[in-house]
Amino acid sequence: MLYLHEITIEVMIDSSAKVLLIYTGGTIGMVENSETGALEPFNFSHLKSNMPEIKRLNFHVDTYLFDPPIDSSDISPEKWQAMAKVIKENYDAYDGFVVLHGTDTMAYTASVMSLMFENLTKPVIFTGSQLPIGKLRTDGKENLVTALEIAADKDEFGHPAVPELCVYMQNLLMRGNRTTKINADNFSAFNSPNYPCLAKAGIDIRYEDNYILKPNYDKSVNFNFGLNHHVVILKLFPGITKEVVEANLTISGLKGVVLETYGSGNSPRDQWFINSLQDALNKGIVIVNVTQCLYGNVEMHRYENGQCLEKLGLISGHDITTEAALAKLMVLFGEGKTPEEVKVLMPISLRGELTMR
Ligand code: ASP
């Protein structure tokens, strides 16, 4: 993989900056009730008294709460639309946004929302934690304070340091649509397997400017609210049966399939399997080939088995994550694109979600 040399940029904290902190739910916003020992949602309306660190930030932080808080395993397209609406309605009033979200589905939310926002000119930083903010050993405080700083940081031209939708966890700032949750226990719960981090937080926050997307500041941001969830993820495994494949590919109203294949995009070549794919493609269902491997990308021409899929008309997802491939199908079909248009757009990078070769 070839990337430009890393260049770090000087950033300044803008003391007039205003950041909107949106608490959607998740472990980060919990405190332990000292009497019962139970985890309860943190009272964000008393954020400054509960978290004195916030007072020491030299910029303004307002809060917006989802009430009741959402455990991110309950996330849905409607909730994504509600989150996007909060950002849209407050877009002009703030310099940046921090979204506190459960880690379980954060990579899905970040992928979908990055594609719902076109020409984003302000930072939208997702963060969460593995331990509640009210626990002594919490990872939440550092994640929250650094995410707020990143949302407020400006470059030497007064533009946001990172005008992107990102995930910040455990010292790493990652492009949101490149992330995947890789660990249920560790503080470093996320990885950006196929794209470098956009910043690393140590003594300073070091931004890697060459990897950060640059919007057109003369144009305004576009919010696309349409989402079509008639999509499916089908993961291959040795021994998968015709019934399983057909049950998935014949779902009524199905628009798109993320087919998780082996290695560089290979699948079995059984005739029944090829026929099932062919029937789905004939109905206008878009099938995107994504690798089950964490790292690397789909190259269907490499092996005969992969070539067979390419000839059928499967679309290469290159090095996209499963989360981002699913999100992209939902957003593109949600915008009302035809299967032919979706096939053209899927292998193209729209928000830096895949590497084109
Ligand atoms: N179940 C929680 C959630 O995703 C876990 C977490 O916050 O990390 O909302």
Which range among 80-84, 155-159, 194-198 shows the weakest confidence by mean pLDDT? Answer: 155-159
In this structure, of 28-42, 194-208, 298-312, the range with the lowest mean pLDDT score is: 28-42
% of the chain with per-residue pLDDT over 70? 94
Whose CA is closest to 236, among 272, 265, 214, 211?
265
Ligand 1 centroid to residue 163 C-alpha, Å:
26
Q: Which pLDDT band, with edges at 50, 70 and 90, does 227 fall under?
A: very high
Q: Does position 16 have pLDDT exceeding 50, yes or no?
A: yes
In the chain, what are the helix, strand and coil shares in percent, each to the nearest 5? Answer: 30, 20, 45
Eight-class DSSP state of 6: P
Q: 39, 42, 73, 167: which to mutate for ligand 1, most atoms within 8 A of CB?
A: 73
Q: Give the whole-angstrom CA distance, residue 280 versus residue 254.
A: 9
How many angstroms is it from 20 CA to the middle of ligand 1? 21
The bridge status of strand 205-208 relative to strand 222-223 is: unpaired
- By C-alpha distance, which of 104, 111, 113 is closest to 22? 113
DSSP state, 266? B
- Which is the closest atom of ligand 1 to the Cα of 105? 4
| Mean per-residue pLDDT, 124-131 | 95
Q: In what order do the strands lie in the sheet with 96-100?
A: 8-9, 205-208, 199-201, 172-175, 165-169, 124-127, 96-100, 18-23, 60-65
pLDDT above 50 for 76: yes
Active site residue 121: no
By C-alpha distance, which of 98, 23, 87 is closest to 60?
98
pLDDT reading at 11 higher than 60: no
pLDDT band at 3 (very low <50, low <70, confident <90, very high): very low
Q: Whose CA is nearest to atom 6 of ligand 1?
A: 102
C-alpha count within 13 angstroms, C-beta hemisphere, residue 284: 12
Does the C-beta of 121 come closer than 6 Å to ligand 1?
A: no
Q: Sketch out the chain's domains with CATH numbers.
A: 8-223 (3.40.50.1170), 231-345 (3.40.50.40)
123 C-beta closer than 6 A to ligand 1 = no
Pocket test for ligand 1, best of 71, 79, 101, 130 (most atoms within 8 A of CB): 71
Q: What ligand 1 atom has the least distance to the C-alpha of 103?
A: 8
Query: What stretch of H or E contains 48?
Result: helix 47-50
pTM of the entire predicted model: 0.93
Closest C-alpha to 122, from 84, 81, 94: 94
Chain mean pLDDT for the chain? 92
Q: Is the distance from the beta carbon of residue 29 to the nearest atom of ligand 1 less than 6 Å?
A: no
How high is the pLDDT of residue 49? 67
Instruction: Give CA–CA dist 159/121, Å, rounded.
Output: 8
Residue of higher predicted confidence among 105 and 47? 105
Cα(182)–Cα(164) distance, integer angstroms: 22
Helix/strand/coil (H, E, C) string of 118-184? ECCCCCEEEECCCCCCCCCCCCHHHHHHHHHHHHHEECCCCCECCCCEEEEECCEEEEHHHCEECCC
- In short, whether 134's Cβ falls inside 6 Å of ligand 1 is no
Confidence of residue 2 (pLDDT cuts 50, 70, 90): very low
Task: Work out the average pLDDT over 314-336.
Answer: 98
Q: How confident is the model at residue 133 (pLDDT cuts 50, 70, 90)?
A: confident
User: What Å distances lie between residue 130 and 54, 110, 176, CA to CA?
Assistant: 20, 17, 18
Report percent pLDDT > 90 for the chain.
80
Q: Is 25 in the pocket of ligand 1 (CB under 6 A)?
A: yes
